[in-house]
Amino acid sequence: MTDMPPLKTARLLIRPFAMDDLADVHRLLDVELREAPFGTEKLESLDERAEWLQWAEPGTLRQRPSRGCQA
């Protein structure tokens, strides 16, 4: 897979996830969007989300978490 270069405008930055994003990713995916008709099927613990985020972080060749994930 080719690394995605960051896309930056005056008001927006789109870039790959990093481990520094853990608290924000957990809040968005597991708290604020937990009842949305997309995304995760259950509330992930912070440790479970950290495992997923390590898998999703660019440049890592880790095995996909067994419980699945959606982007």
pLDDT in tens, 15-52: 888 899 999 999 988 888 887 777 666 778 999 999 98
Tokens encoding 33: 């969007």
DSSP H or E stretch at residue 13 = strand 13-14
The Cα 54–Cα 59 span in angstroms is 10
Which pTM value belongs to this model? Answer: 0.65
> Helix, strand or coil for residue 48?
helix
Query: At residue 1, does pLDDT exceed 70?
Result: no
**Structural domain spans, the chain:** 18-65
Q: Which residue has the higher pLDDT, 13 or 32?
A: 13
So what's the pLDDT on residue 68?
A: 54
The Cα 71–Cα 10 span in angstroms is 25
So what's the pLDDT on residue 57?
A: 77
Q: Which of these, 18, 27, 23, lies nearest to 55 by C-alpha position?
A: 18
Instruction: Summarize the confidence of residues 3-8 as an average pLDDT.
Output: 86
